[in-house]
Chains A and B, each alone.
Chain A
Amino acid sequence: MNRFDDYESEMKTRFSDHDIERLLTGGNPDSRELADLAPLLEMVKASASHEPSEADTQRYAAEAAEITRLESTRSAGAAGPSSVSAHHRKGWLASSPRFGTALAAVLLLVGMTGVAFASNDAAPGDSLYGIDRALENVGLGAGGLGERLLEAGALVNHGRSAEALAHAAEALDTSGGEDEAVTAAAAALQSAAERLEQMDLGGDNGMEVRSKVAEMLTWIAGTELTGQDFDRGVSELARGITGQSSSVPGDNGNRPPGDVPAGDQGGRDG
């Protein structure tokens, strides 16, 4: 060990900041010891080079543009008198009943029109206009889980149901903190997302799944249930999405949208 300590001490005197900077910026250091590391670092750099695929580029650029639009709308709405109240129904869900209404409006339009959020110029008469108005009316300032659910709604809009579920799962997991029920609900969503990835979501199957995912997101945003009741509701809806049997959570007026009866799961993809 002493030999290594001595070695390190010696190297410290040889490795000047200037030489290190030259090595790390692709130059030629004066020190032979450092210069010998150049091929290694070049290899590291080359091995980590990555060219993004065109598909990923289009996908993430479209989604980022959409998020930015939503954020802009949210900022505009938050300045109004109807900003979301500080009422936190679950503590971890920074939202209000009106948020659920806005999300429902968004998802309803998604379901009815399949419209993308790409336009920047929504005007009365456009399908996008209703979305803008819904967001403005609610004064979206919720942040946190609420925004993540909206993003999940946007993914549904793009026909990316599995990713929407995974996104919602991550949002719940992040927002839930140490709430075990919320963590369990997140796990149920993640499991459903993984199951969806294995399913054929073309044609009517895909539309049906999208509709159910949208309903579930709306339910999460609007329900007053907490604890195990919340977990049970999410889990049952998640199972319904993937075509597994489910029953309606006994939630005293906070039943999942559509009041999905047991056995009415509409085929393999839910």
Chain B
Amino acid sequence: MSPDDSFENVLRAAKEGAEWAWTRLYRDLAGPITGYLARRGAPEPEDLAGGTFLQVARNVQTFEGSEASFRSWVFVIAHRRLIDARRAAGRRAEVTSLDALVDPVGGDAEGEAVDQLVTEEIRRAFGLLTDEQGDVLSLRVIANLTVEETANVMGKRIGAVKALQRRGLLALRRMLDVEGVSK
């Protein structure tokens, strides 16, 4: 980043209502937010991500901190909206939306068949996770958040997040063993 592109300058301009700054922030954040929400079964992930972004705009005047903490803060808002959406829908997260997201690379039939097989395994494996296990692993893997940031997003202690990710990985590992996938 050049000095003018520093996060501090972008944030300052965003607080002043500069559209270029919000464009920059949206381009940086919309992808991972939407991916996270979609992966966690949000019914309308793009709309929910957009709502998250506008909530960020409403509250940005109160934010002070680094780029990493800003990212974490944005995911706090996204996660809360996800929880609200789940409550509104009256159901736990579904992983079926994964199918719609998968866009296999390449055109060979064999490759696509493998992708489909793996996708099905992901769907089944993540279906074994609790909402919280799935949230933790998705925040870590998709959003690239640290343990500490994930704990902040979920309002949990770091130890609790570590336990959730461990149990989640154990569940995935068990799935692979039982189904004879992998290797």
Binding site for B on A (CB under 8 A): 4, 7-8, 11-12, 15, 17, 20-21, 23-24, 33-34, 36-37, 39-41, 43-45, 47-52, 56-69, 71-72, 75, 118, 120, 147, 151
Q: Is the interface of A mostly helix, strand, loop or mixed?
A: helix
Task: Digitize B14-47: 1 where CB-to-A-CB distance is under 8 Å, 0 elsewhere.
Answer: 1111111111011100111011101100000110
A-B contacts besides A17-B162, A47-B102, A61-B26, 5 pairs, CB < 8 Å: A21-B147, A43-B119, A44-B126, A44-B138, A50-B32
With A43-B119, A64-B53 as known contacts, state yes or no: A48 contacts B142, CB within 8 Å: yes
Q: Are A36 and B61 in contact (CB under 8 A)?
A: no
Q: Which B residues between 75 and 103 are near A, CB-CB below 8 angstroms?
A: 98, 101-102
Q: Are B169 and A20 in contact (CB under 8 A)?
A: yes
Whether A48 and B101, one on each chain, are in contact in the complex, defined by CB atoms closer than 8 angstroms, is: yes
**Contact (A68, B60) CB under 8 Å given A40-B122, A118-B19:** yes
Quick one: given A52-B34, A64-B26, A66-B17, are A47 and B56 in contact (CB under 8 Å)?
A: no
Determine how close the nearest CB of chain A comes to the CB of B148; give it in whole angstroms.
12
User: Closest Cβ of chain B: how far from A150's Cβ, in Å?
Assistant: 11
A68 to B62, alpha carbons, bound, how many Å? Answer: 11
State whether the Cβ of B118 lies closer than 8 Å to any Cβ in chain A: yes
Task: Say yes or no: A20 contacts B165, CB within 8 Å.
Answer: yes
Q: Are A68 and B169 in contact (CB under 8 A)?
A: no
Q: Which of A20, A36, A51, A60 has the most CB of B within 10 A?
A: A60
Which residue on chain B has the smallest CB distance to residue A16? B166
Known interface pairs A4-B174, A43-B119; A67-B54 also in contact (CB < 8 Å): yes
State which of A40, A65, A118, A151 has its C-beta within 8 Å of the C-beta of B118: A40
> What is the size category of the interface that chain B forms with chain A?
35 or more
CA distance A8 to B140 in the complex (A): 22
Q: Check: B50 CB closer than 8 A to any chain A CB.
A: yes
A27 to B60, CA, bound (A): 34
Q: How far is the CA of A41 from the CA of B138 in the complex (A)?
A: 9
Q: Which 8 A-B pairs have the closest CB atoms?
A: A48-B35, A64-B57, A69-B17, A52-B30, A61-B22, A61-B23, A65-B19, A64-B22
Docked-complex contact B118 and A68, CB < 8 angstroms = no
Contact A44 B176, CB 8 Å, known A56-B30, A68-B17, A68-B57: no
Task: Contacts A12-B166, A24-B141 given; indicate if A71 touches B38 (C-beta within 8 A).
Answer: no
Chain B nearest CB, measured from A21 CB (Å): 8
Q: Look across to chain A and name the residue whose beta carbon is closest to the beta carbon of B35.
A: A48
Say whether B173 contacts A72, CB under 8 Å. Answer: no
Flag if A15 contacts B170 (CB, 8 Å).
Answer: yes
Q: Are A49 and B26 in contact (CB under 8 A)?
A: no
Q: Which A residues are CB-close (under 8 A) to B131?
A: none
28 A-B residue pairs with Cβ-Cβ distance under 8 Å, sorted by A, are A4-B174, A11-B170, A12-B170, A15-B170, A20-B166, A34-B169, A40-B125, A40-B176, A43-B122, A44-B137, A44-B141, A47-B98, A47-B101, A47-B102, A48-B138, A48-B142, A50-B31, A50-B32, A58-B23, A60-B53, A61-B22, A64-B53, A65-B18, A65-B22, A66-B17, A68-B17, A68-B60, A120-B18
